């Protein structure tokens, strides 16, 4: 087995009095797709928020490619190649697809202290390519994200993550609020991550979805990892038992 | 064709623009051709920049998802700071710097308190409305100081242009409006402002420094209001401590009439400018049409509600037009 791409050591998180993560350690290997499963309040969202830079760990270490890293903001995570796709969607509905694709990472024609003039042409061209690359059929990158369906929005979010060459893609309950057909599309996409050389972490509380598209299943309960097995070595019943 | 119609119906400043054209025609007929005469236009365009500059800042701040009630007071405070300093012999340029710095500080405090303590900006800036107004009167010592004679009026208030149609302040207004508009549509900072106001969690998740973006907008808003106040004082020739009272709400009304949403993320600088023009046009047009001037506030109030209703109706109609996305 190769070396882990991400390894988390003894991660703790307290929220004023609540011990949400109790020393979680986890290794994630290149190109595998890990299904992270657990009930509400099991700590999976906390773990993911720490990896994507939205929250800071109270204690513990994160290693990327064997080197210790500090993820202090979402920007740090993105710079390390960790992209996150959220349940409630990291898109601004009142802005166009092209603008959404590049929020915070706009290509600039000219810059001074990080501020500058955006290259609209490049944004339009690259977002058109990225959307087509994600298998989405949208006519114009100028359409407002607010006019897209939930599935199309997740599609744009996925296109964005792929465009920025993510190495690790975290999908935080991406199938909530989606229609059945759209859910299937997202599941198919998660299954295809391996071919794209992307390591996936798929969070869900739907066990069926996890079994459909993941190589390995990690179950969390009460802030701890309670099960960590290859998908073929476990069963839905076993997981339901430990949760 | 359908697509074009949809795009234009979704432009929130459209309703205001149509209203403006209709009102101009109405007033022109009502006043027997006086409304669009050079003399009357000179009056409108001479005062427009003062509310207009304030509206630009308020509009940008509203797009960013925040709100500033203190602009009317800052409008009076900035020129008073300058007047007091100049009465002590400070040269204009240094006094100007101090005045703008005071505005920037007020904007910073507004933004910092709002974000750090998670207070609605309505409350912080309401407090600042009283504080800044009080400071204006306190530093004036009860009666306004005399302005020196060597002020750079040529830079701000003299009449220029074809037929002396507008004042220098109008040039400042147009330049700043164009720059602000370009900032919103062309720069990455504009993208961040709209994202921050449009959906804060998404902006944060994408790594935008939303707190700094908001504070910058608060500061910009205060500085533009103060600059506008200075222009009015230079025009009037005396720093009255009561100027700008009630203007904070007129500025919000102008922004809303121009299609900016109080909830953030929606709006355009151009819309705010159109809203400001509408307010000046109504004020002036009512007088020319010999309507009782007390109807002015009624008209502004009616227009604010009407514009929002029309915009929401247009948006609904636009959504119903089916074009492939």
Supply the CATH number for residue A55's domain: 3.40.50.300
The answer as to whether A36 is a domain residue is yes
**pLDDT band at B324; cut points 50, 70, 90:** low
Give the C-alpha separation, A166 to A198, whole Å: 7
- Cβ–Cβ < 8 Å for A213, A37: no
CB contact under 8 A, B198 and A95: yes
Chain B residues inside the 8 Å CB shell of A82: none
* CATH code, domain carrying B85: 1.10.3470
Across B243-259, average pLDDT: 94
Same domain, A144 and A214: no
The answer as to whether A107 is a domain residue is yes
The answer as to whether A109 is a domain residue is yes
Same domain, A151 and A49: no
Same domain, A147 and A200: no
Same domain, A100 and A67: no
- Cβ–Cβ < 8 Å for B51, B228: yes
Q: Which one has a higher pLDDT value, B9 or A221?
A: A221
The answer as to whether B325 is a domain residue is no
The percentage of residues in chain B with a pLDDT greater than 70, rounded to a whole number, is 98
pLDDT of the residue at A177: 76
Most confident of A77-91, A94-108, B303-317: A94-108
Q: CA B129 from chain center: how many Å?
A: 16
- Domain membership of residue B283 as a residue range: 2-320
Across B204-224, average pLDDT: 95
Q: Residue B1 pLDDT > 70, yes or no?
A: no
User: What are the backbone dihedrals phi and psi of residue A206, each rounded to the nearest 5 degrees, phi first?
Assistant: -100, 105
The minimal CB distance from A74 to the residues B187, B207, B325 is found for: B207
Same domain, A105 and A149: yes
- Give the number of domains in chain B: 1
- Cβ–Cβ < 8 Å for A203, A44: yes
Same domain, A65 and A99: no
The answer as to whether A186 is a domain residue is no
Same domain, A173 and A62: yes
- Cβ–Cβ < 8 Å for A141, A111: no
**Which residue from B135, B131, B139 is spatially nearest to B85, judged by alpha carbons?**
B139
Same domain, A31 and A140: no
Q: CA A180 from chain center: how many Å?
A: 20
Same domain, A37 and A67: yes
pLDDT in tens, B126-184: 999 999 999 999 999 888 888 988 889 889 989 888 888 899 999 999 999 999 999 99
Nearest chain A CA: its distance from B152 CA (Å): 32
Q: Residue A211 pLDDT > 80, yes or no?
A: yes
Return the SS3 of A17: coil
Across B185-200, average pLDDT: 95
- Between chain A and chain B, the number of residue pairs with CB atoms below 8 A apart is 84
Chain A residues inside the 8 Å CB shell of B65: none
- Domain membership of residue A142 as a residue range: 92-165
pLDDT of the residue at A45: 86
pLDDT in tens, A3-57: 889 999 999 998 888 888 898 999 999 989 999 998 888 888 889 999 999 889 9
- Give the number of domains in chain A: 2
The minimal CB distance from B186 to the residues A90, A117, A139 is found for: A117
The answer as to whether A189 is a domain residue is no
pLDDT of the residue at B278: 93
Give the C-alpha separation, A73 to B132, whole Å: 36
Give the C-alpha separation, A70 to A133, whole Å: 32
Chain B residues inside the 8 Å CB shell of A99: 191, 194-195
Same domain, A59 and A8: yes
Same domain, A221 and A237: yes
pLDDT in tens, B4-51: 777 777 777 888 898 899 999 999 998 888 999 999 999 999 999 999
Give the C-alpha separation, B179 to B195, whole Å: 19
């Amino acid at each position: 087995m190769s070396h882990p791409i991400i390894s988390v050591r003894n991660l703790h998180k307290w929220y004023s009095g609540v011990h949400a993560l109790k020393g979680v350690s986890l290794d994630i290997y290149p190109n595998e797709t890990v299904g992270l499963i657990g009930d509400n309040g099991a700590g999976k969202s906390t773990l993911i928020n720490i990896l994507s830079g939205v929250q800071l760990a109270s204690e513990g270490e994160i290693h990327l490619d064997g080197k210790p890293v500090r993820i202090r903001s979402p920007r740090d995570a993105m710079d390390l190649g960790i992209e996150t796709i959220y349940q409630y969607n990291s898109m601004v509905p009142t802005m166009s697809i092209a603008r959404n694709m590049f929020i915070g990472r706009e290509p600039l024609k000219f810059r001074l202290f990080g501020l500058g003039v955006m290259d609209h042409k490049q944004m339009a061209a690259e977002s058109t390519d990225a959307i087509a690359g994600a298998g989405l059929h949208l006519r114009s990158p100028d359409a407002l994200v607010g006019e897209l369906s939930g599935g199309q929005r997740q599609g744009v979010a996925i296109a964005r993550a792929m465009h920025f060459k993510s190495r690790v893609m975290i999908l935080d309950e991406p199938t909530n609020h989606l229609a059945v057909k759209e859910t299937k599309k997202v599941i198919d996409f998660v299954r295809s991550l391996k071919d794209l050389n992307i390591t996936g972490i798929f969070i869900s509380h739907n066990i069926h979805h996890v079994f459909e598209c993941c190589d390995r299943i990690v179950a969390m309960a009460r802030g701890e990892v309670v099960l960590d097995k290859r998908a073929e070595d476990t069963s839905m019943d076993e997981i339901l038992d430990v949760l | 064709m359908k697509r074009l119609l949809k795009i234009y119906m979704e432009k929130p400043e459209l309703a205001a623009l149509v209203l403006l054209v209709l009102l101009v025609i109405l007033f022109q007929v009502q006043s027997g051709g006086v409304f669009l005469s050079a003399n009357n236009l000179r009056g409108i365009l001479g005062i427009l920049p003062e509310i207009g500059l304030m509206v630009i800042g308020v509009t940008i701040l509203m797009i960013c998802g925040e709100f500033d009630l203190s602009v009317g007071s800052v409008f009076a405070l900035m020129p008073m700071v300058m007047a007091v300093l100049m009465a002590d012999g400070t040269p204009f340029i240094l006094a100007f710097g101090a005045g703008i710095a005071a505005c920037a500080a007020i904007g910073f405090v507004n933004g910092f308190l709002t974000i750090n303590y998670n207070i609605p900006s309505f409350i912080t800036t309401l407090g600042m409305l009283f504080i800044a107004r009080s400071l204006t009167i306190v530093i004036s010592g009860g009666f306004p100081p005399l302005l020196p004679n060597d002020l750079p009026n040529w830079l701000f208030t003299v009449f220029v242009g074809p037929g002396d149609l507008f004042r220098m302040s109008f040039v400042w207004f147009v330049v700043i409006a164009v720059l602000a508009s370009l900032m919103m549509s062309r720069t990455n900072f504009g993208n961040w402002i709209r994202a921050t106001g449009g959906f804060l969690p998404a902006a944060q998740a994408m790594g935008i420094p939303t707190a700094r973006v908001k504070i910058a907008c608060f500061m910009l808003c205060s500085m533009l209001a103060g600059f506008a106040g200075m222009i009015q004082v230079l025009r009037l020739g005396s720093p009255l401590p009561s100027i700008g009272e009630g203007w904070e709400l007129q500025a919000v009304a102008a922004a809303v009439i121009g299609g900016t949403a109080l909830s953030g993320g929606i709006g355009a600088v151009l819309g705010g400018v159109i809203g400001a023009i509408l307010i000046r046009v109504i004020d002036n047009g009512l007088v020319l049409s010999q309507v009782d001037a007390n109807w002015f506030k009624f008209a502004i109030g009616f227009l604010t509600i009407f514009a929002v209703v029309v915009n929401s109706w247009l948006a609904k109609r636009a959504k119903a037009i089916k074009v492939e996305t």
